[in-house]
């Protein structure tokens, strides 16, 4: 199993295997928080039959690695893993995993939410949705100033 902290991939992931690998042989771990995001069948009021995600290889991973480093600075966590899928996805497919380990649940919950808020608002991904009105490319980042303000992060979506 690939144990990199950040993976951008087309393949699906196994939540149980990823969490087991993240906490393997670390007896300090008392808490694991994991978030799995899935593809919805609707966006902005339109039905979505497929979604295609793209990223800038190298740049995207580097940006997410920097946020994991920041999570380690802000929270008392042991490990973190982010897997984000790209390529053609269908409704109900898993699209993202954020998993964090720590001694106690509070730190894991906070770090997991911090990383997910970053991914949704700042990570460089672009998506093409197939809707009844045709295909449309949209910036996958959402504007969520409240989520960013909670962590003291300035919006760069301008």
Q: What's the Cα-to-Cα distance from 125 to each of 60, 65, 74, 140, 143, rounded to whole Å?
A: 8, 15, 25, 5, 14
Q: What is the Cα–Cα distance from 44 to 135, expressed in whole angstroms?
A: 14
Q: What is the pLDDT of residue 12?
A: 98
**Superfamily for domain range 6-148:** Molybdopterin biosynthesis MoaE subunit (3.90.1170.40)
What tens digit of pLDDT does each residue of 105-138 get? 999 999 999 999 988 888 888 887 777 777 777 7
What tens digit of pLDDT does each residue of 16-72 get? 999 999 999 899 999 999 999 999 887 777 787 888 898 889 999 999 999 999 999
Tell me the two tokens of residue 17: 């295997």
Band (pLDDT 50/70/90 cuts) for residue 147 is low
Q: Show Cβ contacts of residue 77 under 8 Å, excluding neighbours closer than 6 positions.
A: 71, 100, 101, 102, 107, 108, 111
Tell me the two tokens of residue 98: 């954020």
Q: What is the pLDDT of residue 139?
A: 65
Domain ranges of the chain: 6-148
């Amino acid at each position: 199993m690939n144990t990199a902290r950040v993976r951008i991939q087309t393949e699906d992931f196994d939540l149980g295997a990823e969490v087991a690998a993240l906490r393997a042989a670390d007896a300090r771990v008392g808490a694991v928080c994991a978030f799995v995001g899935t593809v919805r069948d609707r966006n902005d009021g339109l039905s979505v039959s497929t979604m295609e995600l793209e990223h800038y290889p190298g740049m995207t991973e580097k940006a997410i690695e920097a946020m994991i480093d920041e999570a380690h600075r802000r929270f008392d966590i042991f490990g973190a893993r982010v897997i984000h899928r790209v390529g053609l996805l269908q409704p109900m497919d898993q699209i993202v995993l954020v998993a964090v380990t720590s001694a106690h649940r509070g730190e894991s919950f906070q770090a997991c939410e911090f990383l997910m808020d970053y991914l949704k608002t700042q990570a460089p991904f672009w998506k093409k949705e197939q809707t009844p009105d045709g295909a449309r490319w949209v910036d996958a980042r959402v504007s969520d100033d409240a989520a960013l303000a909670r962590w003291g992060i300035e919006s760069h979506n301008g």
